[in-house]
């Protein structure tokens, strides 16, 4: 292990870009973060400007690197990337310019395209090969939408001048000065175009979604020589040696290296991953199969439950309702609320993900009375994230797992009230590590293994430390009442979506 070597990680998330520098002991020595604009041009549409993604990534990376090298006297030797997944960027290979805004994973504009694919009887084939379900969440239909709706996109594709990528791929294209068009297998596994069992872009899926092979990046394993960042950005050449979708990266950063280990990340959304080792398990309860990070020759897999709105509920209370000034206020408000008061909040702002998969569902609050106040609403908002996790765990356990303990991370786990309620309502032990930035840490682990800063996975495993353990303490009867109320609220929300479709 090189003692003065540092690793720069780029955690490009849905609401902000964050750069972190790690040292050879796995500790964070510098952080820089910038939020960027979210665009909602039509109901259900969510877009980012790719130039915002690039600029905030570059600015935060430079700031964190300069601070870390000045502070420690060490040198950054490699870069790791963890990114919001599924989000689609398409650019012109000749000019490097995106042809449209990025279509974000939360965007629902392709709901009818997905319905048509399902009606065409393609669901089983898509599920078997990609591990995913047909839903607007994934990249494939978003890419199709751009090819069909953005002027010149199809003709550029015909001329071989169009490139598609998830966010990691776009960042590497820019970092390498336009040399690299590459991604990693965890990101590829979220596109709906990748055969996760055979580890290749799937010709039948490409044909189904009418995606030309020429627009796709090359795929590597997550710890690999991806590309070199040119000196223009950091003053010297720096190799990108670790790349993963942020949720797979978080599982790696949480040292969930063994089959059966489970992590759940609470950022904008919530994503629960259970390690399946080298077995590609198929859920019979509407969870996803996905590629996890590997360090050896054999591909690794996880079963995943994806919830679209988690920490974003607090952002909505802050930015849209304006009843709080910061997300952290929800903790005190929830304590003040005292009880659930029969108030339920189903935050289906962008449809419901696993295990319901209803793109048409929309958010709702139930049980409001004249006495309902902002504390009740804040509590219901936090509760909703715990109930949604319960729905995932119920599906996971029905698939044969025994998730008795979960490692949690992400911005929302600073909220201890939420974690205790999560433990209570799921009757599961919740383990918060000393380092909740697992996403960035996973990318640092991957990059550092490849660049020689870390010598082995065993070394990394020893770096993981628990900070607080939240144990279930709620009586079964109380839990049952609360959960029954939630189930009724979800049922009503799904029924309403069904009525809207009729
Ligand atoms: N104390 C808190 N209580 C509840 N939610 C919080 C708290 N702190 C942060 N959040 C939420 O966590 C999210 C930020 O987490 P982060 O992991 O940075 O997300 P992302 O990577 O998706 O951008 C925001 O949605 C924010 O509202
Ligand atoms: O930006 P995050 O951390 O909420 O993660 C987004 C996920 O990768 C979407 O699948």
Report pLDDT for 2: 57
* pLDDT band, very low/low/confident/very high, at 490 (cuts 50, 70, 90): very high
Distance of CA 451 from the midpoint of ligand 1 (Å): 31
> What pLDDT is attached to residue 93?
95
Distance CA 169, CA 180 (A): 8
Arithmetic mean of pLDDT, 165-184: 98
**Closest of 306, 239, 263 to residue 446, by C-alpha:** 239
Using the mean position of ligand 1's atoms as its centre, give its distance from the Cα of residue 308 in Å: 13
Q: Which ligand minimizes its atom distance to the CA of 107?
A: 2
502 pLDDT tier (thresholds 50, 70, 90): confident
- Measured in Å, residue 148 CA sits from the centre of ligand 2 at 26
Q: Which of 268, 272, 273 to mutate to test the pocket of ligand 2 (most atoms within 8 A of CB)?
A: 268
Q: Indicate if the pLDDT at residue 340 is higher than 90.
A: no
For residue 3, pLDDT beyond 90: no
Query: Quick check: 1 pLDDT over 80?
Result: no
Scanning 244-373, the segments in alpha helix (DSSP H) are: 246-253, 312-319, 329-337
User: What percent of the chain has a predicted confidence (pLDDT) above 90?
Assistant: 94
Does the Cβ of 268 fall within 6 Å of ligand 2?
Answer: yes
Which ligand has the nearest atom to the CA of 305? 2
Q: Whose CA is nearest to atom 8 of ligand 1?
A: 412
Ligand 1 atom nearest to 410, measured from its CA = 17
Q: Whole-angstrom Cα distance, residue 69 to residue 73? A: 5
The sign one gets for the Cα dihedral 204, 208, 209, 213 is positive
Res. 403 pLDDT band, cuts 50 70 90? confident
The whole-angstrom distance between residue 429's C-alpha and the CA centroid of its chain comes to 23
Q: Which CATH topology does 85-220 take?
A: Nucleotidyltransferase; domain 5 (3.30.420)
Give me Rg for the CA atoms of the chain: 22
Q: How far apart are CA 62 and CA 56, in angstroms?
A: 10
Contacts with 365 (C-beta within 8 Å, 6 or more apart), sequence order: 343, 344, 345, 346, 377, 380
**The pLDDT value given to residue 390:** 97
Closest C-alpha to 491, from 385, 368, 377, 344: 344
Ligand 2 mean position, distance from CA 71 (Å): 31
Burial of residue 156 (number of CB atoms within 10 Å: 0-12, 13-18, 19+) = buried
Nearest Cα to 2, choosing from 464, 451, 443? 451
Domain ranges for the chain, please list them: 85-220
For the CA of 106, the closest atom of ligand 2 is 9
Per-residue pLDDT tens digits for 343-352? 999 999 989 9
Pull the structure tokens for residue 449. 């293994």
State the pLDDT confidence band at 261, using cuts at 50, 70 and 90: very high
Assess whether the C-beta atom of 18 lies below 6 angstroms from ligand 2.
Answer: no
Strands 364-366 and 270-275 turn out to be: unpaired
CA distance 181 to 162: 11
Of 373, 298, 386, 390, nearest to 338 (Cα)?
373
List the residue whose alpha carbon is closest to atom 6 of ligand 2: 84
Residue 71 CA, ligand 1 centroid: distance in Å = 28
50-83, pLDDT tens digit by residue? 999 999 999 999 999 999 999 999 999 999 999 9
| 209 touches 407 (CB < 8 A) | no
Q: Which two tokens stand for residue 168?
A: 């990691």
Model confidence at 338, pLDDT cuts 50, 70, 90, reads confident
Q: How many helices (H) and strands (E) does the chain have?
A: 17, 23
> Distance, CA 270 to ligand 2 centroid (Å)?
8
Average pLDDT, the chain: 95
């Amino acid at each position: 292990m090189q003692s003065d070597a540092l690793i720069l990680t780029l955690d490009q998330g849905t609401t902000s870009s964050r750069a972190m520098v790690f040292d050879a002991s796995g500790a964070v020595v510098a952080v820089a973060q910038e939020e960027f604009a979210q665009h909602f041009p039509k109901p259900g549409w969510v877009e980012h400007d790719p130039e915002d993604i690039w600029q905030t990534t570059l600015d935060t990376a430079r700031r964190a690197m300069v601070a870390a090298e000045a502070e420690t006297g060490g040198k950054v030797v490699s870069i790791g990337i963890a990114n919001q997944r599924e989000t689609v960027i398409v650019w012109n290979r000749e000019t490097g310019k995106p042809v449209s805004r990025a279509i974000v994973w939360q965007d629902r504009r392709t709901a009818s395209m997905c319905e048509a694919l399902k009606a065409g009887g393609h669901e089983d084939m898509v599920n078997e090969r990609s591990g995913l379900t047909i839903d607007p969440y994934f990249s494939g239909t978003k890419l199709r939408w751009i090819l069909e709706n953005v002027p010149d996109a199809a003709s550029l594709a015909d001329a071989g001048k169009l490139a598609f990528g998830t966010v990691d791929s776009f960042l590497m294209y820019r970092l390498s000065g336009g040399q690299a068009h590459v991604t990693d297998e965890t990101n590829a596994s979220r596109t709906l175009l990748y055969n996760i069992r055979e580890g290749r872009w799937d010709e039948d899926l490409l044909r189904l979604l009418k995606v030309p092979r020429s627009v796709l990046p090359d795929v590597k394993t997550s710890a690999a020589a991806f590309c070199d960042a040119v000196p223009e950005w950091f003053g010297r050449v720096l190799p990108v040696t670790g790349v993963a979708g942020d949720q797979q990266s978080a599982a790696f950063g949480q040292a969930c290296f063994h089959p059966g280990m489970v992590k759940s990340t609470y950022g904008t959304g919530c994503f629960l991953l259970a390690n399946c080792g080298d077995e590609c398990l198929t859920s019979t309860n509407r969870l996803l199969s996905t590629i996890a990070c590997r360090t050896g020759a054999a591909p690794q897999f996880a079963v995943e439950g994806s919830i679209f709105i988690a920490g974003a509920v607090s952002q909505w209370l802050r930015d849209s309702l304006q009843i709080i000034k910061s997300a952290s206020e929800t903790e005190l408000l929830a304590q003040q609320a005292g009880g659930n008061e029969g108030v339920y909040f189903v935050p289906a702002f962008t449809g419901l993900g696993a295990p319901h998969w209803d793109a048409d569902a929309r958010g709702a609050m139930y049980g409001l009375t004249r006495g309902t106040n902002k504390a009740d609403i804040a509590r219901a908002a936090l509760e909703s994230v715990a109930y949604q996790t319960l729905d995932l765990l119920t599906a996971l356990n029905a698939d044969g797992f025994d998730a008795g303990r979960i490692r949690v991370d992400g911005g929302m786990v600073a909220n201890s009230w939420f974690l205790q309620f999560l433990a209570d309502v799921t009757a599961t032990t919740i383990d918060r590590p000393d380092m909740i930035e697992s996403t960035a840490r996973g990318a640092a682990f991957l990059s550092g293994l490849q660049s020689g800063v870390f010598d082995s996975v065993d070394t990394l495993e020893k770096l993981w430390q628990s900070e607080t353990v939240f144990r279930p303490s709620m009586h079964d009867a109380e839990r049952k009442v609360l959960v029954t109320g939630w189930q009724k609220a979800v049922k009503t929300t799904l029924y309403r979506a069904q009525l809207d479709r009729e």
